[in-house]
Chain A
Amino acid sequence: MSEKKVISGSDAVAQAVKLCKPKVLPMYPITPSTLIPEKLSEFIANGEMDAQLIHVESEHSAISALYGAYAAGVRTFTATASQGLALMHEIIPIVAGSRMPAVMVVANRALSGPLNIWNDHSDAMSERDQGWIQLYCEDVQEAFDTTIMAYKIAEKNNVLLPVMVCIDGFSLTHVYEPVIIEDQNKVDLFLPEYKPRHYLDPKNPKTFGAFAQPNTYFEFKEAEQEAMKEALKEIQNVHKEFATTFGREYGGGLIELINMQDAEYALVTVGGTTGTARMVLEELRKEGKKAGIIRIKSVRPFPKEEIIKATKKIKNLGVIDRHISIGSEGPLFTEIKATLKEENTKVAGFIAGLGGRDISREMIKKAFEIIEKGEEGVWLK
């Protein structure tokens, strides 16, 4: 039986992971993801979960052990944040290049320095080119649901790419919300037992992580790009199936459109900021303003076609980035401008919420005003 409980975002992720039955959990806790391994080790100690939790000596080892466990042919899980994700960087593209359907939760936290433990997207955004699918969540229920969907998407035979489920540090990991925890039997039907394509077997030797020379490396990278295109379709298919089974859905799985039917100008958001933006939008709509929100859930693969379609009637658009590519601009701003290069939409880029600076209603209101006037974007401080 499914049950409704008031739990934290970390607890919700741990509950979802338990339902997905991974067998090996290499963990190196780091704020604000710490409560996830804490809860999972509790499940294992209580005999509620049949898995091996490895206390590794660093995040580099966590992702390396995850690679090894996948090579051995089992479903795995790990969680990290900030510098922890940065320390994994060396292995991150190897997991994707070896086409391992891993799932990792990133509790988004600013990268040091200066040292900061609060939320922004600089950790995950800095890893966006490494072949991992990146799905950003807005609330705790979505974190729970996306974790379950992530395994199904990753394990699709035409995808076989790892997934980063990105949840805002503290503002999701430590926030308590009512969450529907689904029934194990129902999850088992949705996500059957993991069947590896290949695994290490002394009777049938094979090489994982092989060497590719200039005559093949190019083709292997091309194959990853093709798999990402497949992922665009599979994310939507899995979402559809999830919606039918569990009755909840988040846009089509790629982007969520809020009041976009008659909108003349709109704001693009990612993650938890959307919640505040929704409240501001409600006020603007009461004032008779034709504003809208496009929430990007899937940053990788980047849903170009969907964004073009959603902005067909939009004159002015704004993008909030919680990360800055220092020396350039917000990465989502860059990508959305590139996506809309053939369209007549003016795009403004906003940098906000770095290092956990609250993104207030006033800031979002200001952003909407700038967008409406078609002015240049600013840093929302």
Chain B
Amino acid sequence: MSEEKNTKDFEKKSKCGIPLTVGAMVLEPGSTKKYKTGDWRTYIPELNQEKCIKCGKCWLNCPDGAIYKDKEGKFQINYDYCKGCLICAKECPVKCIQYKIEEK
């Protein structure tokens, strides 16, 4: 099976510069990264590093992959992508993740 090369897919662009591919396909992998969904947030979670036991439950349960381990082995929240669903806060066994309404 061979894939037809079609440069037409990249010719047309919308006013905002998004390629108008045939069938609305996204031909560039990983493009979701560019779409920062952090501004959807109503509640902002905050992780208290002193109380954290590093069990990784927040990291495991975050549906957006917005929790990561930094170089020192501490779990951090990536606010570019955290939508504030608060699953992390609910799952944390030591309640080290607190939240409040985010003021923008």
Give A residues with C-beta under 8 Å from B. 73, 97-100, 157, 160, 195-199, 201, 204-210, 212, 215-216, 219-220, 223
Contacts and interface: CB of A to CB of B under 8 A. Distances in A.
A198 B1 contact: no
Please report whether the interface of chain B is mostly helix, strand, loop or mixed according to DSSP: loop
11 contacts: A73-B3, A195-B4, A196-B1, A205-B29, A206-B29, A210-B24, A210-B26, A215-B15, A216-B24, A219-B12, A223-B22
Interface string B55-66: 000000000000
Interface string B1-45: 111101001001011101010111111110100000000000000
A204 B29 CA distance: 8
Contacts of B2: 195
A210 B25 contact: yes
A216 B18 contact: yes
Contacts of A215: 14-16, 18
A160 B23 CA distance: 9
Given A195-B4, A196-B1, A98 B24 contact: yes
A219 B15 CA distance: 10
Interface of B: 1-4, 6, 9, 12, 14-16, 18, 20, 22-29, 31
B33 to A, nearest CB: 13
Contacts of B1: 73, 195-196, 199
Given A97-B24, A98-B24, A204-B3, 18 more contacts: A97-B23, A160-B23, A196-B3, A197-B6, A198-B27, A201-B3, A206-B25, A206-B26, A208-B23, A208-B25, A215-B14, A215-B18, A216-B14, A216-B16, A216-B24, A219-B12, A223-B20, A223-B22
B24 to A, nearest CB: 5
A216 B22 contact: no
B61 to A, nearest CB: 24
A125 to B, nearest CB: 25
A287 B21 CA distance: 58
A206 B28 CA distance: 6
Nearest to B2: A195
Contact of A100 (B16, B23, B26): B23
Contacts of B23: 97-100, 160, 208
A197 B24 contact: no
Contact of B26 (A195, A204, A207): A207
Contacts of A220: 20, 24
A205 B28 CA distance: 7
A219 B25 contact: no
Contacts of B15: 215
A219 B14 contact: yes
A198 B24 contact: no
The 3 tightest CB contacts between A and B, nearest first, are: A99-B23, A207-B26, A205-B29
B29 to A, nearest CB: 4
A193 to B, nearest CB: 9
Nearest to B31: A207
